[in-house]
Amino acid sequence: MKRLANPQLVKRLAAATLHACVALLACTGLATAQIYGPPQTQTYAPARLLQKVGINQKMGAQIPLDLPFVDESGKDVTLRQYFGKPVILALVYYQCPSLCNMVLNGVLRSIKSVDMTAGREYEVIAVSFDPRETPNMAAAKKQTYLKDYKRLGAEQGWHFLTGPETSSKALADAVGFRYVYDAMTNQYAHSSAIMILTPAGRITRYFYGIDYPPRDVRLGLVEASSERIGKPTDQILLYCFHYDPTTGKYALVVMNVLRLAALITLGALATFLIVMFRRDYRAAHSQRATT
């Protein structure tokens, strides 16, 4: 007990406690800085149509994988053949004057910064909900984005589909994507978002707007793949960040960060005390041996 009253040991314990408090405050400050605002619905349509446009999240819902579509080469396909890996799904139409291009541009920016490649670790599927669009339109759109993506083999992993309205509408309903055709402008009113699905076709994440942070997309793919994609550091990030369905983003969980910081602090203090006690014990033993 006298050893515990050692002034040097007390100073060291005080310093360790101070560092622990600083670490906890730093984590709390970081958590405060990671608050996101609500998603903004982007659409260009008369106000009378806005009530019919939106997204109803259906987390965990299974999409119908046997819906018939046509790929960019004109071949009849079903969604099932693209699954077996996590999937990024974008519901768009290729002749959209603005918003759909922004959505696809956002996907491109994001996956260019992710250290995984479409076609190898995951698939990207763009589905047109305009039944008037053709495989030629889909092929032209695909070439535009593949040219900028510049990843080997990506042509096997980024798909642009067209098809009958029954298929696109059934898919949109399955993921809760509500859109409406405006005959006055000959355009579709719709929201902007992408979805991430598991290899089995279940919805795991929605990302809103036209900008999808690469970190969030990567974490979404890691989660969707049941942790089979990614690096060990992803597990730490997944603990510190959780998916907030109200914002469509990953937000820092304050309590999780504090728990993690507390565990690290306790481990450091325990190690420090063990080292100090062992050193004092050896010093006392050596002193007795010399006397």
Token digits of residue 244: 């907030």
The domain of 63 spans 47-231
Residue 236 is assigned to a structural domain of this protein: no
CA distance 252 to 36: 10
- Going by the DSSP 8-state scheme, the letter that residue 81 receives in this structure is G
Token digits of residue 148: 């900028």
Does the structure show a pLDDT above 80 at 109? yes
CA distance 155 to 143: 9
Same domain, 21 and 134: no
Question: Which amino acid makes up residue 166?
Answer: T
Percentage of the chain with pLDDT > 70?
68
Residue 40: the pLDDT is: 41
Count of domains for the chain: 2
Same domain, 134 and 27: no
Higher pLDDT, 77 or 231: 77
Higher pLDDT, 21 or 128: 128
CA-closest candidate to residue 127, choices 153, 104, 150, 155: 104
Residue 238 is assigned to a structural domain of this protein: no
For the ranges 30-34, 103-107, 261-265, 271-275, the one whose mean pLDDT is highest: 103-107
Same domain, 68 and 196: yes
Same domain, 216 and 272: no
Residue 190: the pLDDT is: 87
- Bridge-based pairing of strands 87-92 and 123-128 is parallel
| Half-sphere exposure at residue 105, Cβ-oriented, CA atoms within 13 angstroms | 8
Same domain, 260 and 181: no
CATH code of the domain in which 65 resides: 3.40.30.10
Residue 267 is assigned to a structural domain of this protein: yes
Mean pLDDT of 214-243: 68
Same domain, 75 and 176: yes
Question: CA distances (Å), 75 to each of 36, 201, 252, in order?
Answer: 42, 21, 44
Same domain, 192 and 131: yes
Residue 243: the pLDDT is: 52
Same domain, 21 and 86: no
Same domain, 166 and 61: yes
- Going by the DSSP 8-state scheme, the letter that residue 3 receives in this structure is G
Token digits of residue 72: 């960019």
From 198, 231, 264, the end of a domain falls on: 231
Residue 250 is assigned to a structural domain of this protein: no
Residue 243 is assigned to a structural domain of this protein: no
Same domain, 158 and 96: yes
Residue 237 is assigned to a structural domain of this protein: no
E strand intervals along the chain: 54-55, 68-70, 76-78, 87-92, 123-128, 158-161, 177-178, 180-182, 187-189, 193-197, 203-208, 241-244, 249-252
Residue 60 is assigned to a structural domain of this protein: yes
Same domain, 67 and 211: yes
**For 71-107, what is each residue's pLDDT tens digit?**
999 999 999 999 999 999 999 999 988 889 999 999 9
Residue 41 is assigned to a structural domain of this protein: no
Same domain, 162 and 184: yes
From 216, 231, 246, the end of a domain falls on: 231
**For 41-67, what is each residue's pLDDT tens digit?**
343 445 566 677 888 999 999 999 999
